[in-house]
Amino acid sequence: MLAASITQPLVVFLLAAVHRFLSFTATRESAFVHAIASAGVAFAVTRSCAEGSATICGCDTRHKGSPGEGWKWGGCSEDVEFGSMVSREFADARENRPDARSAMNRHNNEAGRTSIIELMHLKCKCHGLSGSCEVKTCWWSQPDFRVIGDYLKDKYDSASEMVVEKHRESRGWVETLRPKYNFFKAPTEKDLVYYENSPNFCEPNPETGSFGTRDRICNVTSHGIDGCDLLCCGRGHNTRTEKRKEKCHCIFHWCCYVRCQECIRVYDVHTCK
């Protein structure tokens, strides 16, 4: 559903939020937000070009690769390079300082845009008598935005910690990043990078944009990050019961309607103290 709801105003808002809360941190979370926001701009621009809602762009006619056996190029291939170019102009505009923060943001913005290119896939359509698929036409399509989100979440989990290095250059001092640990694989352009440890998100802190975890719903049987132990940061949790009306005992009547009863189900809801 996110794909449909990602619009340019939303992305502009997202970027503003990014700058407000995360520009001054160089954490893993900041890396993720920069990557997904710049991917969001590229994605939205690319999609509106393909839908014909922008006049300066359209479909990608430079088809990559030759058609395979039994199909030919057709339809509208989405021009992700144009979308990425707009994103680069827009999301990277403020990231031109010679400092480490800018270098990190530029890297993660680019990783976000690259993720779309990585996940582009062929979509095909059959033509012919009643689905005989005599002729098949194919075009390049962006993935669902959800898929990009999942991909970047993996990149967040495996993000590379860097250290800042200062160099004296003709234009003055320039900061660059190098991997902190050389026994790990060095990050590629597809990987996210950061150089500050994450703050503690347990307590509310406007400076880091943390809302804290008080009153968050947690899962009492999970040992993962959504489990009450971890999510509540050891503060424990409250349990309340909630009654929800649900449709039940549904019976199909000939012909054609379904009649249900309403049942009250009781759920335990756990929230962090």
Ligand X SMILES: *[C@@H]1O[C@H](CO)[C@@H](O)[C@H](O)[C@H]1NC(C)=O
- Chain residues in the site for ligand X (CB under 6 A): 219, 221-222
* Smallest separation, CB 219 to ligand X (Å): 4
Q: Considering beta carbons, is residue 41 or 231 the nearer one to ligand X? A: 231
* Smallest separation, CB 267 to ligand X (Å): 9
* Smallest separation, CB 44 to ligand X (Å): 31
Beta bridge partners of 163: 178
* Smallest separation, CB 238 to ligand X (Å): 16
Q: Is 253 helix (H, G, I), strand (E, B) or coil?
A: strand
Output the 3-class SS for 195-250.
CCCCCCCCCEECCCCEECCCCCEEECCCCCCCEHHHHCCCCCEEEEEEEEEEEEEE
Output the 3-class SS for 13-82.
HHHHHHHHHHCCCCCHHHHHHHHHHHHHHHHHHHHHHHCCCCCCCCECCCCCCCCCCCEEECCCCECHHH
Q: Considering beta carbons, is residue 77 or 213 the nearer one to ligand X? A: 213
Q: Considering beta carbons, is residue 7 or 219 the nearer one to ligand X? A: 219
Looking up tokens 């006619």, which residue turns up?
A: 61
Inter-residue contact 128 to 48 (CB < 8 Å): no
CA distance 187 to 168: 24
The conformation of residue 262, written as its DSSP 8-state character, comes to: E
- CA angle 154–159–164, rounded 5-degree value: 165
Q: Considering beta carbons, is residue 222 or 261 the nearer one to ligand X? A: 222
* Smallest separation, CB 251 to ligand X (Å): 28
Q: Considering beta carbons, is residue 221 or 241 the nearer one to ligand X? A: 221
* Smallest separation, CB 161 to ligand X (Å): 29
Inter-residue contact 36 to 11 (CB < 8 Å): no
Q: Considering beta carbons, is residue 111 or 231 the nearer one to ligand X? A: 231
Inter-residue contact 95 to 175 (CB < 8 Å): no
Q: Is 112 exposed, middle or buried (0-12, 13-18, 19+ CB in 10 A)?
A: buried
CA distance 11 to 37: 6
Q: Considering beta carbons, is residue 62 or 240 the nearer one to ligand X? A: 240
* Smallest separation, CB 211 to ligand X (Å): 20
